[in-house]
């Protein structure tokens, strides 16, 4: 147990260091954006005096390292500043958008994770069969296609041709839970096609790797049903890589759905990030980028911890 706590502490410190480095990259990247923020926000008709006063208000006249320290300190204390576009607190803008992104990711996960695990088990059970080849080709196709291509195909079929689902995933605060689920079915289905493919293929490979073990051969010699072997013996011992791929894909569902949100005009954090970059709303861009990074790093840390707890070999590791 002590070894596990030491390993978790090391991974946590490494994650915090990674988050710090990412925050520096985000700040430098925003600083390197072309053009002047004050002139972009105020417009070309603003006088030089007005631009200079606005720069001082935004503290753009201070050295970059001073502004970085102040920004990071405010972020740690939950103060993200105010939006340059409308003057509202960034925390207020991000809160609802982030909840929408999490809602879409959670709904997709409830569909994709069980589906991927079941398909992975069946593909391993009927290895090299017609079913296995069909599933492998289908999932490989979904991995190869970009998200926006799958999204437009689904829109053309289910919205334009059949008219079953709306082409735009517009949700509002006052909408009921059922109405929200109906609105996000197409983006959720798009993401399901992408992440299910990754998780299914990893699950299949992990189970097939375990099936080559000696204790599996002994179970087969004893005449135990192959499906029972996979469910009760092979799958529990292949959890470590499966947990990792699930965590990575959940992280993708939260931080990598920018394209899907833009295609379906979904009011999530990714859509807000794209709009803020276009408007040069730097406080929103910085806060959104750091929140995305925090979620991605935290989920990878959680995957490492769960992998260690599920695999005795990793618990004995000195890394």
Domains in the chain: ranges and CATH: 98-256 (1.10.3720.10)
- Tens digits of per-residue pLDDT, 206-232? 888 887 777 777 877 877 877 888 887
In angstroms, the CA 147 to CA 81 distance is 33
In angstroms, the CA 242 to CA 199 distance is 7
- Tens digits of per-residue pLDDT, 119-147? 888 888 888 889 888 988 888 888 888 88
**Please, which pLDDT band fits residue 308 given cuts at 50, 70 and 90?**
confident
Burial of 311 (0-12, 13-18, 19+ CB in 10 A): middle
**Please, which pLDDT band fits residue 78 given cuts at 50, 70 and 90?**
confident
Strand partners, 267: none
Q: Looking at the predicted structure, is the pLDDT value of residue 109 above 80?
A: yes
Contact 95, 268 (CB under 8 A): no
In angstroms, the CA 196 to CA 17 distance is 31
Q: pTM, whole model, 2 decimals?
A: 0.80
Nearest to 199 by CA among 249, 240, 133: 249
> For all residues of the chain together, what is the average pLDDT?
82
Using DSSP, state whether 67 is helix, strand or coil: helix
Nearest to 293 by CA among 94, 23, 66: 23
In angstroms, the CA 17 to CA 245 distance is 23
């Amino acid at each position: 147990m002590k070894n596990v706590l030491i390993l978790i502490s090391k991974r946590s410190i490494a994650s915090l260091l990674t988050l710090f480095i990412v925050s520096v990259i985000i700040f430098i990247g925003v600083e390197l954006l072309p053009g002047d923020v004050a002139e972009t926000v105020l417009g070309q008709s603003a006088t030089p005096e007005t631009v200079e006063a606005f720069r001082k208000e935004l503290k753009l006249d201070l050295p970059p390292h001073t502004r970085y320290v102040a920004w990071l300190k405010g972020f740690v204390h939950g103060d993200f500043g105010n939006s340059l576009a409308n003057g509202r607190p960034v925390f207020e803008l991000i809160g609802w958008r982030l909840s929408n992104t999490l809602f879409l990711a959670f709904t997709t996960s409830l569909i994709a994770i069980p589906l991927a695990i079941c398909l992975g088990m069946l593909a391993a059970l009927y290895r090299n069969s017609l079913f296995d080849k069909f599933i492998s080709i289908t999932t490989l196709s979904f991995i190869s296609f970009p998200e926006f291509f799958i999204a437009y195909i689904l829109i053309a079929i289910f919205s334009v041709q059949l008219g079953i689902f709306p082409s735009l995933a517009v949700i509002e605060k006052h909408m009921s839970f059922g109405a929200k689920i109906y609105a996000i079915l197409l983006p959720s289905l798009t993401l399901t096609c992408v992440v299910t493919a990754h998780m299914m293929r990893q699950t299949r490979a992990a189970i097939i790797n375990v099936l080559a073990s000696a204790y599996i051969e002994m179970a087969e010699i004893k005449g135990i049903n192959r499906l029972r072997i996979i469910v009760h013996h092979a799958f529990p011992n292949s959890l470590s890589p499966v947990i990792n791929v699930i965590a990575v894909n959940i992280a993708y569902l939260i931080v990598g759905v920018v394209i899907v949100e833009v295609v379906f005009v979904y009011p999530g954090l990714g859509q807000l990030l794209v709009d803020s970059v276009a408007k040069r709303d730097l406080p929103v861009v910085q806060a959104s980028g750091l929140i995305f990074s925090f979620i991605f790093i935290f989920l990878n840390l959680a995957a490492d911890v769960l992998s260690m707890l599920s695999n005795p070999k990793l618990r004995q590791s000195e890394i």
